[in-house]
Structures are given as C-alpha cells and as structure tokens.
Structure 1
Amino acid sequence: MSALSAKLAEYGFESNDDYDYLVRCLFATPYTGIRLLNIEGDGERRKTAFAVALARALDYPQILYHDFTDTHPPLPDVILPPTRDELGRMEPPIEPLDRVVSEACAHSEGEPTALIVDQLQAADFREHLRLYRLIKEGIWEVRGAPYVANPRHLFVILISKAPIYHSLRKEGFRLWIGRLPDRRTPFQPADFGLGPEAEAVFAAINRLFELFDVAPTHGELARLLVDLRLHVRTLEHLRLSLYGRLESVEREQLNDERTQDAQQQLLDTARAWLLVEHIEYGTD
C-alpha cells in the first residue's frame, strides 16, 4: 500500500486502486488557472468520500464543501442582519454557493484551500459558467463584488453524476470512482501474515468473490478473516458477515443459487482451518 493510499484509508476512503499517478499528474503539471479535479463515476457517495479524504490526505488546512442537492445547507458562522440596496429594497440572503466559494477565495489568499462542489448535475447551467470563470480567471463575483482566488493555493474538486459544461470539463483532470475498484488482484495468506495452512481458505474466498464480481479491500478482508476465525459457525453466520463486512456485496448475491456451493465451500474450509489452528496451538 502506497503512502497516499494509507492516508486515504486513514481519512475514510479505502480502495485497492492506487492514486499516486493521479496526484503527480494533477500537481506536477504547470497550470495557468485554478487547479481542478473532475470526479465522475458510478460510486454514488464514494466519490464524495474520495474527494474529502484526498483533501485531508494532502494536508489542506481549509476544506470547504457545497452540495447542490442539499435542501438544508448549514448556517454561516456569522448571520448578518437584513440589508437594503440603494433604492431601499430588501436584499435577499447570499446563496449558499456564493458564500462557500467567496470564503474559499478569501482563505486562499493566506493558506492552501480545497473547495469541493458536489452534485453539480443539479446546478443551473449558469453556475457551470461561473465556475468556469473561477477556474480560468480566479474570480468569483457576488452581486457585483469580485472575490479573487490565489491560484497557488486554491484547489477545486467538482463531482457530478452527469457530464458538465464542456469547457469546464476540459480544464480539469478527470478521475473515475466506481462502485468497484479497477484493481482486482486476489489476496494471498502472506498479505495478512498467515502461512500455507490458510491457502485453502483464500482459494475459497477468491472463488466466491469472482462469482460475486466484487473486489474487497485489504481492510474489509482483514475484518472478514477475524469473523471466520472467531464467530462464523453456520452458513447464516457467513452470509451475515459477508454482507456486514463487504460494502460491494448485495443481499441478492448471497441468496443466488449459483453462489450457494461456493459459500458452503468457504464455510467448510474455514472450519478445517480453525481446526488446524487449534491442533497446532495444542501441540505447541
């Protein structure tokens, strides 16, 4: 596991995929505007988890977040009293997006700042145009007042379920976060500090994962192995642990007749493995 992968896992995003190459491309390439990452994929909120974990793993002291589908955005730290314009008309409150982006611009003047804009597919197209101007010119305008971002400090992450404005998409580095990782290397006993006595269990685990078409992470499999050694005694126990420990396993897969034999084989080999451990422990 790379240093970046370890830090991403520490901040809540675990994957078998390695994102070191992405970060090198993103931050080692000269930019004339604001550095931008476009996250796409079918990973639902995994995309959000990756964005937040990446900003934290890169040690950004300021991380600001806006979700276009949030119907109850958090209140600002300071609630200003209502104001009137030069004609005496009551001015509406500042929109949540304007507040967050203007804060990001202000913070970027003094320290590295990450701005995460989520669910962009729900935004009015005019907001795409405004974000494009921010990326290209470093300017965000609110009611005629410009807020200027420091391109050396501001890092913008856009997350969308649907294609975004072409010019905005072209300015960033695209990344796909899927429900399943791209990397599907079968784990071996040595990856968990185990010896040859566990090879049959891992063969049964890898066969079952192939039938499920899933690729659990190291952490997920480590927790499943603890269940196999300490708790799993019946087929129902095994199904509960598989569903409870592996994010990508669906209940329908556990009840699929095509996976029943593989589940039973895993249970049988786990029992035999546990018996060997008890014998070896008693002998010692």
Structure 2
Amino acid sequence: MSTLRESMAEHGFESNDDYAFQVRCLLKGTPNRIRTLSIQGDGERRKTAFATALAHALDTPQILYHDFSDAEPPTPEVILPPGTDEYGRKAAPVAPLDDIVSQACALSEAESTVLILDQLQAADFREHIRVHRLIRDRRWLVRDAPYYANPRNLLLFLISEAPLYHSLQRESFRVWVGRVSERRVTLSPAEVGLGVDAAPLLDALNDLFRVVDASPTRSELTRLLEDLTAHVQTEEHLIHALFGRCEGIDRERLNDSDLVPVLTRVIERLRDYLDIEQIVVGRGRDDVESGFDGTGFGV
C-alpha cells in the first residue's frame, strides 16, 4: 500500500515532506463541525496542487473546486432556466459560490466530498462569514433555501494568499505548504539507480543543495542526474539543469560568484564519474552546437 506522500505524488504533488500527521488531525476533527483545512505557505499555486492531490489521495468520489479570482467561472454542467416569482419577475442567476457549495452539501449526503475554495483573499469579506457559518452550522442558505452538509462526508479546503477571517481561521486546521520541501533528503546511489562509484558526485550535489537551500525530490534528482550524465559539461550547463529540474530553486543565487567553487566541484566529480579525460570547466555562455540535429532541438 502506498503512503500518503506517494499517493499525492501520483496525483501531481511531490514533496519530501510527509503530511500524514496533519491529515490524521484533520480527519479526527470535531464531528459536529465541517472539518476544514487551511492550506498556508509561500508555495503560491503549489498550494492548489497540494489540495487537489490530497483530495485524490483520500479516494474522494466527489471533488469540487471554486476559484474566487476567476472573473469568468466555468459554465455549470446543468444550466437551469431562469425562475420567476409570483409577479412574473425573473430571478437573478445563482451565484457561482452558491452553486458550488450547494452542490457540495447535496453530494455529501451520500458520498465523501471535498470542496476546495481557492484564492479566498479575492472574496468579499461577507463570503468569509458565510463560509464560517457553513462550518459551524453545517448549512448553506441560497435565497433562504437551506442546503445541509453531512459533516461525516464533507471536507473543506481553504486557500488564501492573505489572512483568513479570524473566526474562520479558528475553525480550521492549518497546514504549511512551502515553495520547496522543508525536509532535505539525502539519497544513496542505489536509490537513484546508480552504482557506488557515483557517491562522490552525489556528495558534491548534496553540498550544492545545502548552499543554495534547495530540497529536490527523488524524481527531480533522478532527472537532474540524467541531464548531468548526458548533457552537462560546464558550470553554465549545470546552472541551467538545476533551474530546469528543481522546483523553487533561486536562480539569482545560482549565479552568485561565491558559488563557483561549489559548482566546479560538481563538474569535477561528474568528470571523475564519467571517466572523461577532459571536460570544459568554465562559465562561458556558448552552447554545445555540435548537438544540433537540424530539427530545432539538440540531441
């Protein structure tokens, strides 16, 4: 059976951090409230990827998503004709938030449901109050018509780039999702499919990651090593490969002059590993034109 971290990676969110404890706390929350997860951090849209991957990793049959910053919400699957009151006046269309929350409430009566409310900082403050009432009362009102949520089946994920309404935050369990993993993992050569002779190269890379405060995941490191052994010849190439493969890495830091010796050590260990007599060591910006195959892509 795969771990939560492995399952989330299969659904698009990879991290060295393990969120199993936080998820257990969420799932064991107060039964008479809607269990709510406040996803915080500096990961920007990485938080959205976290929420979506977690919902899938929990094997949730129904996953609904609403983005408050979307100026043109997607068209609902079912478009109802406009209603009229007793005087024949047409009623205003149902707001996107009312539509998605009422759906979530209805679906939760029979099935496990996750409702993701993203970019809450773009919502009117009154909507924060309404969401708080939903958590507390397990009820959502649409034009005085109540929709009741089943607290055993409904999970609510909140994402905001600004502080939440205080009462709303107090009802939530907070989890931090950073732009990079907080946990740094040191992998052995065998774990990335290499022989023991690759250990000095991995040691040099781990020193580089510590200096630039990077925490690449297993798949990022695997792809980086593929680039190193097939394409990288200079420190300049190494910088491009690092930025290209490792999410959240600071490109300006990679170009600092004090980093040159650390980059050079990686290139030297790479040369030793590949048993190449000579490799160009420098920070020149010329590309390896000999790899051009006429198709527009290097080989």
Q: Residue type matched to 1:160 in 2?
A: S
- Counterpart position of 2:222: 222
- Counterpart position of 2:174: 174
Deviation at 1:70, TM superposition (A): 0.7
**8 A Cα contact 2:37 2:173, kept in partner:** yes
- Counterpart position of 1:282: none
- What is the Cα-based RMSD across aligned positions, in Å? 1.7
Query: Distance in 1 between the 2:35 and 2:236 partners?
Result: 50
Q: Residue type matched to 2:49 in 1?
A: A
- The alignment covers a number of residue pairs equal to 276
Deviation at 1:85, TM superposition (A): 2.7
Mind listing any 5+ residue stretches in structure 2 that lack a counterpart? 277-299
Which structure 2 residues correspond to residues 114-125 of structure 1 after superposition, within 5 A?
A: 114-125=114-125
Q: Residue type matched to 1:42 in 2?
A: D
Query: Distance in 2 between the 1:179 and 1:56 partners?
Result: 21
Residues 102-135 of structure 1 show CA distances to partners (whole Å, capped at 9, x for unaligned) of 1111111111110000011111111111111111
Secondary structure (helix, strand or coil) at the match of 1:141 reads: strand
- Counterpart position of 1:38: 38
Secondary structure (helix, strand or coil) at the match of 1:248 reads: coil
- Counterpart position of 1:156: 156
Secondary structure (helix, strand or coil) at the match of 1:156 reads: strand
Secondary structure (helix, strand or coil) at the match of 1:114 reads: strand
2:165 matches 1:165: yes
Secondary structure (helix, strand or coil) at the match of 1:63 reads: strand
Secondary structure (helix, strand or coil) at the match of 2:275 reads: helix
Query: Distance in 1 between the 2:26 and 2:209 partners?
Result: 33
Query: Distance in 2 between the 1:29 and 1:119 partners?
Result: 24
The normalised TM-score by structure 1 is 0.92
Deviation at 1:3, TM superposition (A): 0.7
Deviation at 1:192, TM superposition (A): 1.9
Mind listing any 5+ residue stretches in structure 1 that lack a counterpart? 277-284
- Counterpart position of 1:91: 91
The normalised TM-score by structure 2 is 0.87
Structure having the larger proportion of residues in helix? 1
**8 A Cα contact 1:2 1:18, kept in partner:** no
2:47 matches 1:23: no
2:10 matches 1:10: yes
- Counterpart position of 1:131: 131
Secondary structure (helix, strand or coil) at the match of 1:136 reads: helix
- Counterpart position of 1:247: 247
Deviation at 1:213, TM superposition (A): 1.2
Query: Distance in 1 between the 2:82 and 2:204 partners?
Result: 66
**8 A Cα contact 2:104 2:149, kept in partner:** yes
Deviation at 1:2, TM superposition (A): 6.4
**8 A Cα contact 1:187 1:206, kept in partner:** no
- Identity across the alignment (%): 56
Deviation at 1:226, TM superposition (A): 1.2
Residues 208-260 of structure 1 show CA distances to partners (whole Å, capped at 9, x for unaligned) of 11221111111111111111122222333222211111111233223221212
Query: Distance in 1 between the 2:238 and 2:202 partners?
Result: 15
Residues 154-206 of structure 1 show CA distances to partners (whole Å, capped at 9, x for unaligned) of 11101111111112111121101111222123333243243431121112101
Secondary structure (helix, strand or coil) at the match of 2:150 reads: coil
**8 A Cα contact 2:29 2:35, kept in partner:** no
Secondary structure (helix, strand or coil) at the match of 1:233 reads: coil
Deviation at 1:29, TM superposition (A): 4.0
